Amino acid sequence: MTAVSDVSLDPIVYLNGELVPLSEAHVPVLDRGFIFGDGIYEVAPLYPHASGRTAFRFRHHLARLARSLDKIGIVNPFDDAGWRELIERVVAANEADAGLRADQDAIAYVQITRGVAKRGHAFPAGIQPTVFVMVTPLNLPDAAQRAQGVRCVTAEDRRWLNCDIKSVSLLGNVLMAQYAAENDSFETIQFRDGMLTEGSSSNIWMVKNGVLYAPPRSHKILEGIRYGLIEELTSECGIRFEAREIAEAELRAADEILVSSATKEVLPVTQLDGRPVGNGKPGAVFAALYAAYQRAKAKEAQQAQQAQQGVESESRERVIA
C-alpha cells in the first residue's frame, strides 16, 4: 500500500470499472497519463441539499469534458447519463463508508488518459482509456477570505497555446501555482504579450467604472464553467459585461479584480504585486456576483429536489398502480 502524504482519508474511488479505496487504486507506469501527461480531467463541485446532492452546472462540465476529449482524440467512455450515474455511485460509496458526510460540499475529480501502451509518442492503436473518478470533501474559501479579498502576483504566461483543452499536462500551471505559493499569494495572474490571460487554475475578471471585463474565449484560456455562469449572472444583476482583450496596465488600474473557479467560486483580489486593487477592499460588483452565485446554487438545488420528488411520486404511483 502506498501512503499518499496529504490525503488524510482513504476515499473510495472508481478506476477502470471498479470501486476501490484510493490506497489500492494503481495505474501501470506505462500509462500515457504518467509518461506523457496524455489525458484530460474535469473538476465539478457537488453541493448537498435536503434530499441529496447537486452536481452544480454539471451539464456544462460534461460538455467541456467531451470537447477536451474530442480535441485530443480520446473516445468519451460514457455518455452524460453514464457519467452522472458513475459520480452518484462514487458519492454513495463514500457516504456509506463515512468518508463523506451527506451535508458536506464535495468535489468530483474525473480523469481520462489515453491508456497503457509501449512508450512511443504518437497515438497507439487499440488501447483502452484509463478512467478515474474521485470524490473528496471541498473546503470553500471562508468568510474572512471573502471579506478581505486575496493577494495575487503576476507573471508572463509561458504555457502552450492549447489552454482551452483541460489537459492533465499541467506543468506550466504547476509552476505558476508554486510561484504564488512562494510569494505568499493566492494565485498568479498571467499575461501573454502584455494581455491578461488567466490564473494558474482560475479565470480572472476586471471591473472598471462598473463594467465587468474578461478576456474573450479562445485557445489562450480555459473557458471556466464559471465563465458562462458569471456572464449569465451579470445580466441578472444588471451589470454590463464585455469580453475583450485586457492590457496589463488596465488590470493594474482596475477598480476590482475577481478570480473564479470550481473550488473557489468567486473571490475578490484586493492586492496585486503588493499594491492595493482599487481602494484595497472587495467591491460592489464582487458582492453582487457572489450573492447571485449563491442564489444560482440554491436554485439548482431546488430544481434537483423537485425533480427527485417527481421521480419518487412517479415510482409511488407505479407501486400503487
Q: 234 or 260: whose CB is closer to ligand PDD?
A: 260
CA–CA dist 23, 186 (Å, integer): 30
CB of 207 to ligand PDD, least distance (A): 18
**In the complex, minimum distance from the CB of residue 279 to ligand PDD, in angstroms, rounded to a whole number:** 27
Looking at the Cβ atoms of 22 and 110, the one nearer to ligand PDD is 110
CA pair distance 318, 321, nearest whole angstrom: 5
Q: Confirm whether 166 is a catalytic residue.
A: yes
Q: Could you tell me the smallest distance in angstroms from the CB atom of residue 206 to ligand PDD? A: 15
CB 201 within 8 A of CB 212: no
* CA nearest neighbour of 111 among 34, 23, 224: 34
**Residue closest to ligand PDD (Cβ):** 224
Backbone torsions φ then ψ of 11, nearest 5 degrees: -60, 160
Q: How far apart are CA 101 and CA 114, in angstroms?
A: 33
Give the nearer residue to ligand PDD in terms of CB position, either 260 or 270.
Answer: 260
Whichever of 112 and 225 has its CB closer to ligand PDD, that residue is 225
Cβ neighbourhood burial of 252 (10 Å; 0-12, 13-18, 19+):
middle
Footprint on this chain of ligand PDD (rule: CB under 6 A): 43, 173, 198, 201-203, 222, 224-226, 260-263
- Residue from 71, 118, 166, 220 carrying the catalytic annotation: 166
Q: Determine the Cα–Cα distance for residues 252 and 271; give it in Å rounded to an integer.
A: 10
Q: How far is the CB of 163 from ligand PDD (least distance, A)?
A: 7
Catalytic residues: 166
